[in-house]
A = this chain, B = another copy of it.
Amino acid sequence: MSKSSSSSPEAAAILSGDVLAASRLIRRIEDGDPAARPLLKEIYRSGRGARTIALTGPPGVGKSTLADQLISEFRAAGKRVALLAVDPTSPFTGGAILGDRVRLARHFTDPGVFIRSMATRGHLGGLARASGEAIQVLDAMGWDVILVETVGVGQAEIEVVHMAETVVLALAPGEGDDVQAAKAGILEIAHIFVVNKARREGAERSVKMIEEMLHLGPDRGPNSWTPPVLKTEALLGEGISDLMEAVSARWTYLASHPEVAEALGRSRARHVLTETIKTLAAGRAIDSREGEPEFQKILADIAARKEDPYTAAERLLGPAGG
C-alpha cells in the first residue's frame, strides 16, 4: 500500500467537511459495503484528533436533552460539533426513540452542527464496527467535538464507549441504588457521572450512593482521574455549566497525563483493529465463498453434524500465524 495522501475526490470532499459525501460513506458503512474500505483507509490517516465524548445511561434519563444542551454550550464556545446517535435497540422501540430526538431539531439549520443516527437496520453484529468507522469519518471531516450518544440499552453501548476519551454516564434519581451497574464494568468505564432530573426526590441520595460505589471500587492509582458526580436538570439547563467544566477538567487531565492519553489511544486502536479483523476474516472465509459448491458442502456437513464448525473454521482460516 502506498502512503498516498487523500487523492480520491471522495476523500477530498470528506476532508473538506462535505456533509453529503460523509453521509454517503456512513451509509455504506452501515450497509457493511466492503468496497468502502479503500476510502476508509484513505481518510483514517487524516483524522484530526477530535475530542470524543460518549454519553450513555439507561433509557429515559434524558440523554438526548443533555446532548442538546452540550451542543448549545460547545457552539457558544465556537466549537463545531457532530452528534452520532447510536441505537442498538430493536426496531420494536424505534418509534419512541425517534420522538425523543425532536428537540434536537433546533440545531438542524446550524452548519456548525452535524447530527447523524445509526441503527441496527436488522444487521447481524456490526454496530460496534459501524459506529467506530462513522466516528473516523466525522473525525476526518474536522469537527472539533464528536458526541456519541447511545440511545438504547444493550451490549453495543458498552462497546461504543470504548471509542471515546471521555465517557459521561447519566442516571436518574433512584437509579444510583441499583448496584447492577457496577457489575458490568460501566462504573469503571465512566469518567463523569451525571444524576439528571435532579429536581426529583432522591437526587442527593443517588449522588451519595454513586460516590460511595466509586470509593468501594478498585483503587485507581495515585495519578488516576477522579470521576466527579454531578447533578443536572437538563430540560431547564441547570448544572450544564458544571458538566462543561468537568469535561474541560478531563481534557486538562489528559493533556497533563500523556501516558494516560496514549494508553487510551492504544485501547481504541485495539478495539478498531479487533472489529476490522473480524469483519475481514468473515468476509474472506465466508461472504466471498458463497457461490462455491465446496463451501455449500461445508455448510451441509456442519448442518448434518458430519463436521463441527470449529474444525471447519480452522481449515477456512488456514494455518495459524499467517
Contacts and interface: CB of A to CB of B under 8 A. Distances in A.
B309 A44 contact: yes
Interface in A2-45: 37, 40-41, 44-45
B284 A270 contact: no
Contacts of A272: 302, 309
A91 B184 contact: yes
Contacts of A155: 88, 90, 120, 123-125, 127, 154, 156
A244 interface: no
A258 interface: no
Given A122-B183, A273-B286, A277-B285, 5 more contacts: A41-B311, A122-B158, A154-B156, A274-B282, A276-B309
Interface string A140-180: 00000000000011111111001000000000000100101
A314 interface: yes
A282 to B, nearest CB: 5
Interface string A115-147: 000001111110110000000000000000000
B266 A300 contact: yes
Interface string A89-118: 111111100000000000000000000000
A159 to B, nearest CB: 5
A265 interface: yes
This chain: copies in complex: 2
A241 interface: no
Determine which residue in A89, A122, A152, A309 has the highest number of CB atoms from chain B within 10 A of its CB, and name it.
A309
Q: How many of chain A's residues touch chain B, expressed as a range?
A: 35 or more
Given A269-B309, A273-B299, A89 B44 contact: no
B94 A180 contact: yes
A322 B181 CA distance: 43
Nearest to A128: B125
A216 interface: no
A122 B159 contact: no
A184 B120 contact: yes
Interface in A215-259: none
A58 to B, nearest CB: 4
A164 B229 CA distance: 45
A15 to B, nearest CB: 13
